[in-house]
Structure 1
Amino acid sequence: MVGRQRLAVLATCNLDQWAMDFEGNLRRITRSIAEARRRGATYRVGPELEIPGYGCEDHFNEHDTVEHSWECIAELLRGGHTDGIVCDVGMPVMHRGVRYNCRVFLLNRRVLLIRPKLHLANDGNYRETRYFATWKRRRQWEEHTLPADVAAVTGQASCPFGDAVLAFRDTVLAAETCEELFTPQAPHIDLALAGVEIISNGSGSHHQLRKLNQRLDLMLNATAKSGGVYLYANQQGCDGGRLYFDGCACALVNGKLVAQGSQFSMKEVEVVTVTVDLDEVASYRGAVASLQEQASSAEPFPLIHVDFNLCCPPDAFCLPTPAREPFYHAPEEEIGRGPACWLWDYLRRSGASGFLLPLSGGADSSSVAAIVGCMCQMVCEAVAAGDEDVLADAVRVGQYGEGERPTDAAELANRLLCSVYMGTENSSQETQDRAAALAKQVGFHHLNVKIDSVVASMTSLFALITGRTPRFRVHGGSPAENLALQNIQARLRMVLAFLLAQLMPWVRGRSGFLLVLGSANVDEGLRGYLTKYDCSSADINPIGGISKADLRRFLRWCAVHLGYPALAEVEAAPPTAELEPLAANGAVAQTDEQDMGMTYEELGVYGRLRKISRCGPLSMFRALLGQWRDRYAPGEVAEKVKHFFKYYAINRHKATTLTPAYHAESYSPDDNRFDHRQFLYNFRWPWQFRAIDRLAAQAEAALQKPAGAAAVQLQRQHEAAAAGTRDAALHT
């Protein structure tokens, strides 16, 4: 009808998919389609690779994964789920012997188009080129032969495959996938110039502290420059690995956000619908002269014509969804909610009946305790809101009786977490009291255990074997003796933790087993400031990717916002391992920063320069000359950099045994997935350290001159290094 307003109801979603769980993934997909249809949507887009789950990794190399994905497509078509609604789903597809990461468009029991990904994510946590190829024939498509069971449902022998767009009766729609949003020459620019009005993005984007701002900024800027509707779908939850996919499905129109889903949620299926005015898109684009000029010369995309209206019928009353401001969680809340959701997914899918936490009363283990407390609060909130999925999981994992349900977070915490303080004669009363106070406030089942007899048994056994008795440094022992006596305490705590994890459910009259939680932060993993196979060796670690500085801010936030005031006292205490004898007055004689020879603040700087700015020893020294010029002399900076790299190299082997941890920080030293550096180094770094010493000597000499070309040149070097560091921080 000429002159009628073009309003369309569109749907995007967050789905809590699980790698290789085809049955569960298909169930969640069909639920999202049903909800989108119930709300009147004519188009629904889902996350990247949603059918098998994004995190299949080397399972993508198995043909079974592709075959089972097509079986799920056949079920969607056969079950009538695509009747009257365009369904855009993500899956791997083999085309002419090549595997592609694809979007598959379905409507009325037919396959409209298979659109392969043009740009793959292949850095950081992503290895897509290990499994997929990119589609290199831009603006071209060809026929793809459909599997027999799909062809039997659709009546099609083949369908279009390639870089094309869908031309409906009333609008044009196209897709890009995850990484393509981030690329410099993003597909959405050419699509918009070619007249595409609706662009969708099925994504698999993981949570990282402060990352959501970047994602939303890219989408806001894309639609502000080129106009149009942008729909973003994402996976949400832990799909079997270290990453937590943080959802935040959203819709944007002409540079404004109109809908935003949750970033952290325990919902398995969350659908976001919007009503958009496509005439506003045409008007917005027509008002920008430069856009008109570029669009008039843009190369067209091949069109796949679809005899279907995306817009509402003429007699339907619809109003466009109004714009709104983006919502961002504070980083402290991200630390609480992201790892809490990751822990919940891991707990409910692993078959475990709870967690066991060695709780020392220090900042790290107390942060883990607070995250578990946050998890229990979120579960109870979801149950109170009527989420039947969360209720069923909570009743099963918490082993509630018939008719019982979790209503109180502290009571749920008592069921799901057992904490244990494993003290020795080297432990202070203060840490013991802090651990007990925190456990009481959160609600844990708490144990207070003295392990001196076990430690004494081990040292007696050593003396029996060797005829020698090791002593602490304060008692005249050597550094080797001192370190060995510290490490045996830490390792015995790990042994006891796993014993308790296996048997505490039995002790309490329950079934199952507990997962042991680790509590080494990302800075300690980077420096190697942990004992190999000590109580940081656990099943999973929710803070292994979070810095000490962020954790301390998190503790202050938790004390107020989660209702755990004991955490304020924990945060104020100096970090200490309490593995050496106490002072005569009972005070702690050992602190972590003294042991490490560097502060946690400095560790964070080293980590970002090493990983994010890709600095070796010499380039790190150059950067810090500028960054720390008002704090340390060049010689001091040189010694600090050499000290860090010495112990980084000595302890790098410990990264191979780090507990699988929630990824939250881009300088994580995780050897298994993220940080592919060797673990055997020449810790003396002779060539690199000589270069540092030469440059430090030049800097010291230049700084001793009151004026002159050398001083001016050094000042310029400082300013350039400082600018480079600022640029790197802004890029991050």
Structure 2
Amino acid sequence: MHKKYAVLASCTLNQWALSFAHNKSNIIKSIELSKRLGATYRLGPELEVSGYGCEDHFFELDTVKHSWQVLGEILGQQELTKDIICDIGMPVHFKNTLYNCRVICLNQKILLIRPKLYLAAGNNYRESRWFTAWVREGLEDFYLAPEIQAIVGQKSTKFGNAIIRCNDTTIACETCEELWVPKNPHVDYGLDGVEIIMNGSGSHHELRKLHTRLGLITSASSRNGGVYVYANARGCDGGRMYFDASSMVCMNGKIYALEDQFAPEEVSVQLGVMDLDEVRSYRGGFNSRCVQSAKQKPFPTVEAEIDICKITEHSLNKEVKLNLLIPEQEIAMGPPMWLWDYLRRSGARGFFLPLSGGADSASVAAMVANMAQMVLKSIERGNQDALMDLRRIVREDDFTPKTYQDIVSRIFVTSYLSTKNSGKETLERAETLAKGIGSLHYNMGIDEAYDSIVGIFQKATGKTPQFEVHGGTYNEDLALQNIQARVRMVVSYLMAQLVPWTQGKQGGFLLVLGTSNICESLRGYMTKYDCSSADINPIGGINKSDLKKTLIYLSHELKLPVLAEIAGAKPTAELRPFIEGDVKTQQLDEVEMGMSYDELDEFGRLRKISRSGPLSMFERLLFNWPHLSPRLVAEKVKRFFFYYSINRHKMTVLTPSYHAEAYGTDDNRFDLRQFLYDTKWEVQFSEIDKIVMEYEKEQAMKVKGSDEGQNRKSAGESEGPKEHQKL
């Protein structure tokens, strides 16, 4: 007699907020694929019907109404939910209150609507703004709308926190945040005998975050035993975040299936063929767990007439050997896939990038190239959706790329926008990179526009501003630098709108890509409304150190040595005149900022992640930076907070950026702080000064004591022979 195994499908979907037809299509594809694979339970991501990123659209009754409409159309297909439990995420109103729910369906019936118990509220998340956490016990009757009743043939279903009792096992649901809270629902579920936990999630990508997520899931299934199935969304569903898939099946603390973080596929299914006897054996030998289980208060149950375990042609899953991406690999893949989603959904023909030859713009160019390479590989794997999207973008019905450069040449325009202050090296690097990736490249001088603007000022005021090296003041120098930067932004948008026209292509536009990294945003080391002002910015959440490592990584992936060369160059804005042989006139970013990019990373993490003000940041850095004197640490902290506060207003117009770091600077969605500051920080800085003086006083006393001790020792040595004679 053949043994029966649980066949569980974890589905990764690339959904789009409010795109109900698109989302429905993906959900149906995932159910059909799960059924073809023989699954008896299909799990989808959080809020997959509406899309996770609807934000204040969740306040609209339309969003919930259309979600029910989609669910009704799914349930209306007789064969779709036959002999498979479909666990679908959507918003649901109950007693005039909105809940983030899992809707559990089987054989055209709704078995249970399970609301989320704990909501994500902080940093990128505002769930408690729209939804209410479910805090009641027991099950309540949920009366279905007449149009849904007509489809499912039932008047009501159950609403609340319950266990699904199948013919051969029990199953319970978690939703995203419930995995992250200190006291998880899965603990009590497992103690009540639940053998399979299903978690439909909407978890965004952040560098190094997958390690934490894997740790939580393996811990959840190892402490209590059991199968833990996790389904996450993939892609940009309308905002700054990218959902990085990693859907998985875990049992007794081991991973048995794991979906790739980054890929262009719309729908992917990870199948878990699991032997539930392993769960029962694991738990049976865990005596202390059994004692807790005997005390566990039972949950309400909902009956599901289905065998989760079946005889299957699939072999049991084997433990997966984890090969987690390092940060530079995450950066090389995450932002490019975010760009791909943005490009194919925006109606644009491609991207425009002002390519300076520096690390930031080179990183963006390399990301576009790697995006093309990832799309090409996906097409070669048979992804027809990606091919159709690409043909629609380039307006070529029969286009089939052979190399990633074939794609880049049709969707990417770059331009080196030079002034008399630009360097020969950066020009050559920009040209080499553009040629290597295949972009349509222009070398353009903007001095004429710059001189004209200065001329307008001269006519109006009778004054001629000069750079500091030519005898001008700091304000004159800064103003002249900013003009160059802002002219580049104006020219960039002109090129983005008209280059397709110059090629005889009717309709469409290019998205202007931003090139400001998180360190520059944090410090405000950028011109407002310059090239930091763009349509979208793939590197706005990434620090300079990681960008350089990514350039080196992509130099090998894309076979472009110039990327490694750019990574090794010293960052410079090239906005001031440079006198050959005079090092002081060389404009280097870290010198001009008065702090290194690595120091800025530390400031950023302490400010946002550790929630440090000036004083607590100074006190932490005294120990983190023992190589610096307390006075120098104080100077650096003060300098950072001064420039942070005078430049904070720039964050209110920051280009929408890919979210990658937990200390992001995005004013509107992530970093909610004021933009008008008292830049003197009188109380905070005076406390720092007191501590510095105490340190210096203590150090001076130590030095004085050491000198006196040395003097006594010297005196003792000289008298030593006499004392010896007396003895």
TM-score band, normalised by shorter chain: over 0.9
Structure 1 SS opposite 2:122: coil
Counterpart among 230, 233, 248 of residue 231 in structure 2: 233
Counterpart residue identity of residue 342, structure 2:
Y
Structure 1 position 686 matched with structure 2 position 682: yes
C-alpha deviations, 1:364-411, integer Å up to 9, x for none?
0000000001001011111111100000011111222x4331221112
Structure 1 position 298 matched with structure 2 position 296: yes
Shift of 1:699: 1.5
Counterpart residue identity of residue 444, structure 2:
V
Q: Is the 8 A contact 2:192 2:296 kept in 1?
A: yes
Shift of 1:205: 0.4
Structure 1 SS opposite 2:113: strand
Counterpart residue identity of residue 623, structure 1:
R
- Name the residue aligned to 2:262: 264
Counterpart among 601, 606, 626 of residue 603 in structure 2: 606
Structure 1 position 444 matched with structure 2 position 442: no
- Name the residue aligned to 1:188: 186
Structure 1 SS opposite 2:86: strand
Shift of 1:148: 1.1
- Name the residue aligned to 1:25: 23
Shift of 1:6: 4.2
Q: Is the 8 A contact 2:15 2:22 kept in 1?
A: yes
Counterpart residue identity of residue 131, structure 1:
W
Q: Tell me the distance in 1 between the aligned counterparts of 2:628 and 2:602.
A: 15
Shift of 1:343: 0.2
Structure 1 SS opposite 2:552: helix
C-alpha deviations, 1:8-67, integer Å up to 9, x for none?
111011100000000000000000000000000010000000000000000000011111
Counterpart residue identity of residue 660, structure 2:
A
- Name the residue aligned to 2:724: none
Larger Rg: 2
Counterpart among 144, 147, 164 of residue 145 in structure 2: 147
Structure 1 position 331 matched with structure 2 position 330: no
Structure 1 SS opposite 2:309: coil
Q: Is the 8 A contact 1:26 1:51 kept in 2?
A: yes
Counterpart residue identity of residue 660, structure 1:
P
Judging changes above 3 Å, is the alpha-carbon distance between structure 1 residues 376 and 18 closer, same or farther for their aligned structure 2 residues?
same
Structure 1 position 131 matched with structure 2 position 130: yes
Structure 2 SS opposite 1:230: strand
Shift of 1:568: 1.2
Counterpart among 393, 399, 408 of residue 404 in structure 1: 399
Q: Tell me the distance in 2 between the aligned counterparts of 1:88 and 1:71.
A: 16
Counterpart residue identity of residue 391, structure 2:
V
Structure 2 SS opposite 1:706: helix
Q: Is the 8 A contact 1:528 1:654 kept in 2?
A: yes
Structure 1 position 352 matched with structure 2 position 348: yes
- Name the residue aligned to 2:566: 570
Structure 1 position 628 matched with structure 2 position 625: yes
Q: Is the 8 A contact 1:376 1:413 kept in 2?
A: yes
Equivalent residues, number: 702
- Name the residue aligned to 2:578: 582
Counterpart residue identity of residue 488, structure 2:
R
Shift of 1:704: 2.9
Counterpart among 61, 72, 82 of residue 59 in structure 2: 61
How is 1:103-252 mapped onto 2 (pairs within 5 angstroms)? 103-138=102-137, 140-252=138-250
Shift of 1:510: 2.0
Shift of 1:4: 7.6
Q: Is the 8 A contact 1:395 1:406 kept in 2?
A: no
Q: Tell me the distance in 2 between the aligned counterparts of 1:95 and 1:648.
A: 45
Judging changes above 3 Å, is the alpha-carbon distance between structure 1 residues 409 and 317 closer, same or farther for their aligned structure 2 residues?
closer
Judging changes above 3 Å, is the alpha-carbon distance between structure 1 residues 458 and 330 closer, same or farther for their aligned structure 2 residues?
same
Structure 1 position 554 matched with structure 2 position 553: no
Shift of 1:670: 0.5
Structure 1 SS opposite 2:238: coil
Counterpart residue identity of residue 461, structure 1:
I
Shift of 1:561: 2.1
- Name the residue aligned to 1:725: none
Q: Tell me the distance in 2 between the aligned counterparts of 1:624 and 1:210.
A: 23
Structure 1 position 619 matched with structure 2 position 616: yes
Q: Tell me the distance in 2 between the aligned counterparts of 1:64 and 1:233.
A: 26
- Name the residue aligned to 1:719: none
Q: Tell me the distance in 2 between the aligned counterparts of 1:317 and 1:458.
A: 74
Structure 1 position 522 matched with structure 2 position 522: no
Q: Is the 8 A contact 1:70 1:147 kept in 2?
A: no
Q: Tell me the distance in 1 between the aligned counterparts of 2:325 and 2:634.
A: 38
Counterpart among 409, 417, 420 of residue 422 in structure 1: 417
Q: Is the 8 A contact 2:249 2:257 kept in 1?
A: yes
Q: Is the 8 A contact 1:5 1:279 kept in 2?
A: no
Structure 1 position 87 matched with structure 2 position 116: no
Q: Tell me the distance in 2 between the aligned counterparts of 1:427 and 1:573.
A: 15
How is 1:445-460 mapped onto 2 (pairs within 5 angstroms)? 445-460=440-455
Q: Tell me the distance in 2 between the aligned counterparts of 1:560 and 1:585.
A: 35
Structure 1 residues without counterparts, runs of 5 or longer: 710-732
Structure 2 SS opposite 1:447: strand
Counterpart residue identity of residue 201, structure 1:
N
Shift of 1:131: 0.3
Q: Is the 8 A contact 2:115 2:134 kept in 1?
A: yes
Q: Tell me the distance in 1 between the aligned counterparts of 2:554 and 2:694.
A: 48
Judging changes above 3 Å, is the alpha-carbon distance between structure 1 residues 568 and 94 closer, same or farther for their aligned structure 2 residues?
same
Q: Tell me the distance in 2 between the aligned counterparts of 1:705 and 1:559.
A: 54
Q: Is the 8 A contact 1:90 1:202 kept in 2?
A: yes
Shift of 1:524: 0.3
Q: Tell me the distance in 1 between the aligned counterparts of 2:465 and 2:632.
A: 35
- Name the residue aligned to 1:433: 428
Counterpart residue identity of residue 633, structure 1:
S
Judging changes above 3 Å, is the alpha-carbon distance between structure 1 residues 482 and 84 closer, same or farther for their aligned structure 2 residues?
same
Q: Is the 8 A contact 1:6 1:279 kept in 2?
A: no
- Name the residue aligned to 2:498: 503
How large is the Cα RMSD of the aligned pairs? Answer: 1.4
Q: Is the 8 A contact 1:578 1:590 kept in 2?
A: yes
Structure 1 SS opposite 2:542: coil
Counterpart residue identity of residue 78, structure 1:
G
Q: Is the 8 A contact 1:89 1:103 kept in 2?
A: yes
Counterpart among 519, 532, 539 of residue 543 in structure 1: 539
Shift of 1:668: 0.8
Q: Tell me the distance in 1 between the aligned counterparts of 2:450 and 2:153.
A: 73
- Name the residue aligned to 1:7: 5
Counterpart residue identity of residue 233, structure 1:
A
Q: Tell me the distance in 2 between the aligned counterparts of 1:202 and 1:577.
A: 46
Shift of 1:318: 4.9
Shift of 1:197: 0.5
Q: Is the 8 A contact 1:6 1:278 kept in 2?
A: no
**Percent of matched pairs sharing the same residue:** 51
Shift of 1:74: 0.6
Q: Is the 8 A contact 1:545 1:662 kept in 2?
A: yes
- Name the residue aligned to 1:393: 389
C-alpha deviations, 1:446-487, integer Å up to 9, x for none?
100011111111111110111111000000001110000000
Shift of 1:703: 2.5
C-alpha deviations, 1:546-580, integer Å up to 9, x for none?
00110011111111122111011111111000000
Q: Is the 8 A contact 2:391 2:398 kept in 1?
A: no
How is 1:266-281 mapped onto 2 (pairs within 5 angstroms)? 266-281=264-279
Judging changes above 3 Å, is the alpha-carbon distance between structure 1 residues 104 and 36 closer, same or farther for their aligned structure 2 residues?
same
Counterpart residue identity of residue 32, structure 1:
S
Judging changes above 3 Å, is the alpha-carbon distance between structure 1 residues 382 and 319 closer, same or farther for their aligned structure 2 residues?
closer
Q: Tell me the distance in 2 between the aligned counterparts of 1:468 and 1:347.
A: 46
Structure 2 residues without counterparts, runs of 5 or longer: 706-727
Judging changes above 3 Å, is the alpha-carbon distance between structure 1 residues 612 and 465 closer, same or farther for their aligned structure 2 residues?
same
Counterpart residue identity of residue 414, structure 2:
S
Shift of 1:307: 1.8
Structure 2 SS opposite 1:166: strand
Does 302-311 or 84-93 show the bigger shift?
302-311
Counterpart among 673, 677, 701 of residue 677 in structure 1: 673
Shift of 1:696: 1.1
Shift of 1:99: 0.6
